[in-house]
Amino acid sequence: MPEAIIVDTTTAPRALNIVGEQVTVLVSGAQTGSYEIFHQAGPEGSGPPPHSHPWDEAFYVIRGEIAFGHEDRDLVAGPGTLVHLPAGTTHWFRFGAGGGEMISMTSREGASHMFTDFDREISPEKPDLGKLIELGRPYGLAVAVPAS
């Protein structure tokens, strides 16, 4: 029988700095055998460029307002709002005024490894989009680069 997983403020790993956003891996796919859960907090304006990946992702907003875009639809989510995005959906989000926090969950392992690579290899002060794309590619990340 698998072990129970309990994470609290004394056992949570350090937050990863992903281009200015703080992402804490609360539970990895290696621990659960499938899904992953994260705590995400970011200052106003932070968030990823439009992208897609091969796992479902759900976000539950716990503080602040967070703008989400997926495919050609946009919405602003406040505390208590759940946003679920199927695998392969192009999406983005931006933390609103005063920043925000959310809990996110993926349908399979992968994001925790990718976030660890981003934290280790990409400067939060001067993020390199090309490096992010390169590091994300093995995990199935596709970034929608704007036309120049």
**Cα dihedral across residues 143, 123, 115, 140: positive or negative:** positive
Q: Give me the CATH code for the 16-136 domain, please.
A: 2.60.120.10
Tokens 């993020």 belong to 127
CA atoms within 13 A on the CB side of 40: 29
How high is the mean pLDDT of the chain?
93
Long-range contacts of 1-4 (CB under 8 A, 24+ apart): 2/33
Q: Report, as an integer, the average pLDDT of 105-129.
A: 93
Q: Which region holds residue 113: left if phi is over 0, alpha if psi is between -120 and 50, else beta? A: alpha
Of 6-15, 57-66, 96-105, 114-123, least confident by mean pLDDT is 6-15
Residues 6+ apart with CB under 8 A from 40: 21, 22, 23, 24, 59, 101, 102, 103, 104
The pTM for the full model equals 0.92
Other beta carbons less than 10 A from residue 43's beta carbon: 14
Q: What is the pLDDT of residue 124?
A: 83
Q: What is the pLDDT of residue 42?
A: 97
pLDDT in tens, 63-112: 999 999 998 899 999 999 999 999 999 999 999 999 999 999 999 999 99
